[in-house]
C-alpha cells in the first residue's frame, strides 16, 4: 500500500482455508490500519476464513462473463479470485496492490506513464469487450482490477492528456462504456453514459457528495469519465496537474487511498450485495456508520442517498455501491456516491420496458414488512424511517431535500450537453417530479 508491505494473502497448506497475515512493520507503522472492518489487526496479526476470501473476491467485477473474459485475456489457470488477481491486481479499487511475494512495487512514488492519442484511447475502449488474449507487453501495461458489473477501464489523466500507467503508477480516472441491453426484459440502457452523468449532476445539486463525472467521446466510442476519489496527487496541486505544460517533477506522485465497499466491510460475498439476497440493509449500514469519524454526517448522507434513489428510481443502490474511506489510526467515513443510474427512462408498459410496479430499491424501508417497490413506498415510510433512526434533524433535511428536487433539475437542465438524449432527461425529470408529489401527498399527520 503506497510502497509499504501490508501483509500476505494465501491459502493454508493442506487445506483450502484462506488467510491474511499482517506484517509486523505494517501493524506498527504510522500509516497502518486494517484492510477491512472484517479483517481486523489482531494480536497474532492473522485472519482466516471466508471474510478473507470475500474481501479479495470483491475487488473483481461482479459479472461471471467479465471474469471469464479476464481469464481468457490473461491466460489464468482459473476464474478464482486468487488466480485473477495474481494477473490484474496491480491497480485495484482502494489502495491495495497485489504482487508476488518477492516483487516490489518499484516506482510507486513517481509517475511513469505512456501518452495516448485519442485514437489509442478509442482502441483501448473498443478492446475492453474483446475476449482475445493480450500480448505480453499489453499485459504488463494493463493489470487493472475494477469491481462492479459494467464494462470499464481506467487510465491516467494529466497535462490535458490521457496516459497508460506503467509499473506501480496508478490510474486516476475510470472510463465506463454504455451498458446496452440488459436484464431478462432486455431493457435498453444504451444511454447509460448520459443517464449516469445526469444522476450525478442532480445529486450534486442536492448537496450530496458524488464522484466527479464527465461525458467524453473518443472517435466512435462514448464513455463516462469518472474521477477516482481513491487517488490523490502528492507534492503538486490538482490545478497544476491539468496544465498543458505539466510534467511530474521529483516528489510528485499519486497516492492510493484505502477504501472498501459495504460487502467487504461486512464480510459478505458479492453475490449477496442485494438486501433481498442477504446483503446489507439500511439498518446494518447505519450500524457501521454509527462508528465512523463523522457519524451524524455520514448517516444523514446515506439516508438522503436512499431517498434520492427513490426519487430517481435508482434501483441499484446495493452494498457494493456504498464504500468507506479508511484512514490511519482506524477511523473511517463514507465515500462520495457513485454508480447511480435512473430506471425512469426504461419504466413503462411497452416492449423492453420495466413496469413501475416491478421496480425495486436495493435496500428496503422497514415497517410492518420490508418495502422495496418504488410504487408502494410513500412519504410516511420516509417519515417513519427518520423517526426510527433518530438521526438529529433528519426529517427536516428529508423534507427540504425533496422540496429542492425541482430546482435541482432546472439547474441541471441549463447545462445539459449539446445533443443530450431528450428522453433520458424528460423521463427522469417527470419521474422525479411524480415522486415529489407522492412524497408530499402521503406524509403522515404527525410530521413536524
Integer CA distances (angstroms), 363 to 204, 211, 299, 310, 398, in order = 22, 21, 15, 10, 17
Neighbouring C-alpha atoms within 13 Å toward the C-beta of 264 = 25
What is the four-CA torsion angle of 340, 345, 351, 353, rounded to 10 degrees?
Answer: 40
Integer CA distances (angstroms), 399 to 352, 380, 395, 447, 448, in order = 34, 11, 6, 10, 10
Residue in 370, 351, 147 with CA at minimum distance from that of residue 263: 147
Distance CA 4, CA 29 (A): 9
- Find the helix packing angle between 394-403 and 422-441, rounded to 10°: 140
CB 141 within 8 A of CB 169: no
Read off the C-alpha cell for 44: 497474532
Distance CA 252, CA 220 (A): 34
Residue in 153, 174, 166 with CA at minimum distance from that of residue 110: 166
Integer CA distances (angstroms), 197 to 190, 321, 357, 420, 427, in order = 13, 16, 26, 11, 15
316 is catalytic: yes
Question: From the candidates 191, 298, 316, 339, which is the catalytic residue?
Answer: 316
Q: Active-site positions? A: 316
Amino acid at each position: 500500500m503506497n510502497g509499504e508491505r501490508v501483509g500476505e494473502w494465501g491459502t493454508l497448506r493442506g487445506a483450502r482455508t484462506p488467510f491474511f497475515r499482517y506484517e509486523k512493520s505494517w501493524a506498527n507503522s504510522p500509516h497502518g490500519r486494517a484492510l477491512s472492518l472484517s479483517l481486523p489487526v489482531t494480536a497474532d496479526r492473522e485472519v482466516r476464513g471466508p471474510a478473507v476470501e470475500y474481501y479479495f473476491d470483491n475487488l473483481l467485477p461482479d459479472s461471471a462473463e467479465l471474469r471469464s473474459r479476464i481469464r481468457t485475456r490473461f491466460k489464468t489457470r482459473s476464474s478464482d479470485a486468487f488466480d485473477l488477481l495474481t494477473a490484474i491486481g496491480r491497480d485495484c479499487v482502494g489502495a491495495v496492490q497485489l504482487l508476488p511475494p518477492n516483487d516490489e512495487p518499484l516506482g510507486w512514488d513517481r509517475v511513469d506513464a505512456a501518452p495516448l492519442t485519442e485514437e489509442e484511447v478509442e482502441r483501448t475502449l473498443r478492446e475492453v469487450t474483446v475476449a482475445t488474449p493480450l500480448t505480453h507487453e499489453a499485459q504488463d501495461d494493463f493489470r487493472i482490477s475494477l469491481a462492479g458489473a459494467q464494462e470499464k477501464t481506467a487510465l491516467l489523466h494529466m497535462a490535458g492528456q490521457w496516459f497508460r500507467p506503467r509499473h506501480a503508477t496508478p490510474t486516476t480516472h475510470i472510463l465506463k462504456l454504455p451498458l446496452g441491453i440488459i436484464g431478462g426484459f432486455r431493457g435498453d440502457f444504451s444511454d447509460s453514459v448520459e443517464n449516469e452523468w445526469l444522476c450525478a449532476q442532480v445529486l450534486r445539486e442536492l448537496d450530496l457528495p458524488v464522484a466527479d463525472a464527465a461525458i467524453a467521446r473518443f472517435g466512435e466510442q462514448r464513455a463516462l469519465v469518472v474521477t477516482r476519489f481513491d487517488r490523490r496527487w502528492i507534492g503538486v496541486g490538482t490545478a497544476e496537474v491539468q496544465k498543458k505544460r505539466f510534467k511530474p517533477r521529483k516528489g510528485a506522485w499519486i497516492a492510493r487511498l484505502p477504501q472498501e465497499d459495504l460487502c467487504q466491510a461486512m464480510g459478505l460475498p458479492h453475490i449477496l450485495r442485494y438486501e433481498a439476497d442477504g446483503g446489507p440493509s439500511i439498518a446494518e449500514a447505519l450500524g457501521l456508520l454509527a462508528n465512523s469519524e463523522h457519524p451524524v454526517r455520514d448517516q444523514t448522507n446515506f439516508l438522503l442517498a436512499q431517498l434520492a434513489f427513490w426519487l430517481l428510481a435508482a434501483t441499484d443502490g446495493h452494498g457494493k455501491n456504498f464504500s468507506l474511506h479508511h484512514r490511519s489510526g482506524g477511523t473511517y467515513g463514507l465515500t462520495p456516491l457513485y454508480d447511480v443510474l435512473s430506471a425512469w427512462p426504461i419504466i413503462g408498459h411497452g416492449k423492453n420496458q420495466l413496469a413501475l410496479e416491478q421496480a425495486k430499491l436495493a435496500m428496503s424501508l422497514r415497517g410492518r414488512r420490508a418495502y422495496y417497490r418504488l410504487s408502494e413506498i410513500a412519504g410516511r415510510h420516509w417519515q417513519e424511517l427518520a423517526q426510527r433512526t433518530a438521526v438529529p434533524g433528519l426529517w427536516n433535511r428529508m423534507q427540504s431535500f425533496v422540496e429542492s428536487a425541482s430546482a435541482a433539475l432546472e439547474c441541471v437542465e441549463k447545462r445539459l450537453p449539446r445533443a443530450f438524449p431528450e428522453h433520458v432527461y424528460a423521463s427522469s425529470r417527470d419521474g422525479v417530479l411524480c415522486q415529489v408529489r407522492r412524497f408530499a401527498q402521503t406524509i403522515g399527520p404527525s410530521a413536524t
